[in-house]
Structure 1
Amino acid sequence: MTLSFLVFFGSICLYAQNNQASDYLVLRTSDTLYGKVEHIKEGGFGGRRFYKKIRITNARGKTKKYQRRDVSSFSVDGVVFESFWLYQESQSLITGALGNPKYTMDPNQGEQHFLRVVSKGRLSHYQLEWFEQGNSTLWSMSLLKKEKDAFLIRADQGLFGLKRKVLQRYFADCPELGKAIQQKQIRKVRQVVEWYNDSCMQ
């Protein structure tokens, strides 16, 4: 073997190890496992969808599957997902959010969802993701949660932008933010989060 081939081969191995090491899975027992994590089934029969069991493959190539209820969080390619048991007084947790933007955290009545962590702070920003039946597109909605709240609220309505009236009520503790939302000085969820964390009183 030539020296250049060995360097090239070594670089590939190092990249694969680093890429795999960036993934992890945290069990409800607080044990953390490292390896390549997979939670979405790509294609095949039934189309693209979430796996019923989350898979993790270690450095030796051995794959183990875990029930979703036994997992508290995981990271895939640097993106963290946290487990929430969400309950909403509507027939559908997804479509029901159009009329009721509040998601209560309730392990007894709730349905488990792994929310994508966008940012965390006094006000945290998550995304709830789902697949429509028969559609491989991954849809998402933004949810916000104040530190001490036992619920999250939906912050946007897709292409129609922010749920302004909902956000104004939610941020009654920060009138200046509510005013900026009403006057459309703020148009993105990210801006709402930044304003609250940087400028609203604790």
Structure 2
Amino acid sequence: MIQIFKRPVLLIILFLGLYSMNAQKKAFNKGYLVKQSGDTIQGLVKDRSTGTFVSLYTKIRFKEAGSSRTKKYGPDDILGYGYHGQNFVSMPFREEIDFFKFRYYTDSRAPRVFLKVVRKSEQLIYFEQLFVHEDSSYLDSTPFFYRPDTSELVRVTQGILGFKRKRLAEYFSDCPALAQELYGDDRTIGSISDLYEFCLERCIANQ
């Protein structure tokens, strides 16, 4: 009786092993990382777990092209990484809370985090900070605009409440056209991408 089931059991174990190896291989994406020296290294990148319950890694996993060895890199170790058209940079990031008012800053004293670069120009960058909801393991992001000539980032939306109009108007206080658009009756901006384009064309370009 033992001999009858021995071969099927071995086949199942072999199949599960191959499936596990393939799953691990698929979890890595063809991408790159940028070293502290500024050199770009091609390879395979993995920055989150796979499966039903997703979790983001504090340190990415990276296999340099031609190597099977996996190394871990945190925001303090590299300048950035990317894969599948998604690009992330290491950036000092600090959150301050004062009477339920949130402010976000970047300075050399702040701990570094990975931020996703959605859109970028010399005068304005659209970042996203990825996070996972604790109750649902759902991957989400917080959008920020950043003017490199300042030390502050502004959060663009407040969840389902929409644009943070007051904070955006304050951040772009040198652009009356934006305040008029945010508070006017004939608003044309319907998305963060629309807002980014508006800021580039009506605020940044005029300076």
- Classify the TM-score, shorter chain: 0.7 to 0.9
Contact 1:27–1:72 (Cα < 8 Å) also in 2: yes
Partner SS, residue 191 of structure 1: helix
What is the Cα deviation at residue 61 of structure 1?
Answer: 4.7
When residues 129 and 99 of structure 1 are mapped into structure 2, their CA distance, relative to the original with a 3 A threshold, is farther
- Supply the distance in 2 between the matched residues of 1:199 and 1:134 (Cα, whole angstroms): 40
User: In the alignment, what sits opposite 1:117?
Assistant: 117
Shift, 1:112, TM fit: 2.5
Does 2:184 match 1:187? no
Q: How far did 1:28 drift?
A: 1.8
In the other structure, the counterpart of 1:78 is 85
Structure 1: unaligned runs, 5 residues or longer: 1-15, 91-95
- How far apart are residue 161 of structure 1 and its match? 1.0
Q: Return the offset for 1:142.
A: 0.7
Secondary structure of the corresponding residue to residue 165 of structure 1? helix
Partner of 2:142: 141
Cα distance, 1:117 vs structure 2: 0.8
Q: Which whole-Å CA distance do the structure 2 matches of 1:170 and 1:52 have between them? A: 30
TM-score relative to the length of structure 2: 0.75
1:41 corresponds in structure 2 to 49
Q: Which residue does the alignment assign to 1:54? A: 60
Q: Percent identity?
A: 29
- The structure number with the bigger radius of gyration is 2
Work out whether residues 101 and 166 of structure 1, in 8 Å CA contact, stay in contact via their aligned partners in 2: no
Aligned length: 174
Q: 1:124 to 1:163 in 2, by over 3 A?
A: same
In the alignment, the residues of structure 1 paired with residue 88 and residue 38 of structure 2 have an alpha-carbon distance, to the nearest angstrom, of 15
Whole-angstrom CA distance in 1 between matches of 2:148 and 2:111 = 21
The amino acid across from 2:37 in the alignment is T
Q: Measure how far apart 1:194 and its partner are.
A: 0.5
2:55 alignment partner AA: R
- The answer on 1:160 being equivalent to 2:166 is no
**In 1: Cα distance, 2:150 partner to 2:47 partner:** 28
Counterpart amino acid of residue 198 in structure 2: W
Cα distance in 2 for partners of 1:76, 1:167 equals 31
1:134 deviates by: 5.3
| Structure with more contact order per residue of length (Cα contacts < 8 Å, sep ≥ 6) | 1
Structure 1 residue 60 displacement after superposition: 2.8
Q: Which residue identity lines up with residue 103 of structure 1 in the other structure?
A: Y
Q: 3-state SS of the aligned residue for 1:106?
A: coil
SS at match of 1:136: coil
Q: Secondary structure at the match of 1:127?
A: strand
Shift of 1:135: 3.5
Decide whether the 8 Å contact of 1:48 with 1:135 is kept in 2: no
1:166, CA displacement in angstroms? 1.0
For residue 173 of structure 2, what is the aligned residue in structure 1? 172
Matched letter for residue 38 of structure 1: K
Unaligned runs of 5+ in 2: 1-25
Question: Which residue is 1:102 aligned to?
Answer: 103
Q: Distance in 2 between matches of 1:140 and 1:99?
A: 20
Shift in CA distance, 78/63, structure 1 to aligned 2, threshold 3 Å: farther
Is the 2:47–2:61 Cα contact (8 Å) retained in structure 1?
A: yes
